[in-house]
A = this chain, B = another copy of it.
Amino acid sequence: MNSIGVDVGGTKIAAGVVDADGNVLDEVRYPSAGSPEVLIENIFRAVSEVRGSSEVGGVCLAVPGLILAQENKVVFSPNLPNIEGIPLKDELEARIEAPLTVENDASAAAWGEFRFGAGSGVDHLVFITLGTGVGGGVISHGVLLRGAHGAAGELGHTTIHATGPRCACGNRGCLEALASGSAIARRANEMAAERTDSALGKLAVKRKILGEDVSRLAREGDDAAISVLEEAGTWLGVGVASFVNVFNPEVVAVGGGASEAGELILSATRREVHLRARSPSRDLVRIQSATLGPESGVLGAAALARGGDGEYVLGDGGGDRA
């Protein structure tokens, strides 16, 4: 049966009807700004509109922030504070008239890549999203790791350099503080001041450099911009090396806005993983870009909404034998 995935982002709500093979049959968008009441109303409208008169097996909301799984409630959402504390399931399930679940957006995107993208065909996937922050999701033995309270998968908040720069979370030296889109932009502005003759340096005279400027100038061959991306890719590699040692995944997939720089980041990441991670895990893992782009959230949420119907069957490598 079809299901509905809803990606509730910092600026927009995207709701899509998705079939069991991962085809988006229809999709609508609403703004996510406004009061909690407006947000709830817009989620309801998006779901109603995209569903039309067809029957769906379930609805899953992918939301940015920490979820308390047992309560289907967001407890912390720096990028969408108007969603904090709202009992989403209680507010919406009865009106929507379909089973409703709430999932962290990065976990939902990870599940999307696992079912339909970079991780299709494997049992073990680490998914990292490089945006303003760094999010992630892990599938191990075919199981999405949610943790005891639904708060697992915070890959961006692993400490990779104990005395490193301060992170938005308050900690020091998080992966997010060194390899996120924000970290890339910050480092690019520093680099521009050091290398005034570079394209990066010349742009900085006119205006503040954004993350997307760095990717564009690097693709145009600017050494300073390339250095910034290589540095971020190396830091990403420090984190990925640990994930490779801890999870022994078949695939590490990197998505999110900053990942559009692609190989400009990932070649440095692979080099660092090879230096730091252990054999045989480091030799057997594939480190690549995510393949679904911004649709991973809607697709993953829809697959999660399908519940028992779309249940993933553990492969022979399943860890639940014992």
Contacts and interface: CB of A to CB of B under 8 A. Distances in A.
B141 A145 contact: yes
A322 B66 CA distance: 19
Given A160-B162, A161-B162, A148 B248 contact: yes
Contacts of A318: 143
A124 interface: yes
Contacts of A276: 159, 171-172
Interface stretch (A25-33, A87-95, A277-285): A277-285
Contacts of A160: 159-160, 162
B246 A153 contact: yes
A158 to B, nearest CB: 4
Given A141-B143, A143-B140, A151 B281 contact: yes
Contacts of A321: 307-308, 311
Nearest to A156: B245
A270 interface: no
As for how many copies of this chain the complex holds, the number is: 2
Interface string A248-279: 11100000000000000000000000011111
Nearest to A141: B143
A241 interface: yes
Q: Chain A contact residues: over half helix, strand or loop, or mixed?
A: loop
Interface stretch (A36-44, A48-56, A68-76): A68-76
Nearest to A306: B322
A321 B307 CA distance: 6
A12 interface: no
B124 A147 contact: yes
10 contacts: A140-B145, A148-B317, A154-B245, A155-B245, A157-B277, A157-B278, A161-B161, A162-B173, A171-B275, A312-B320
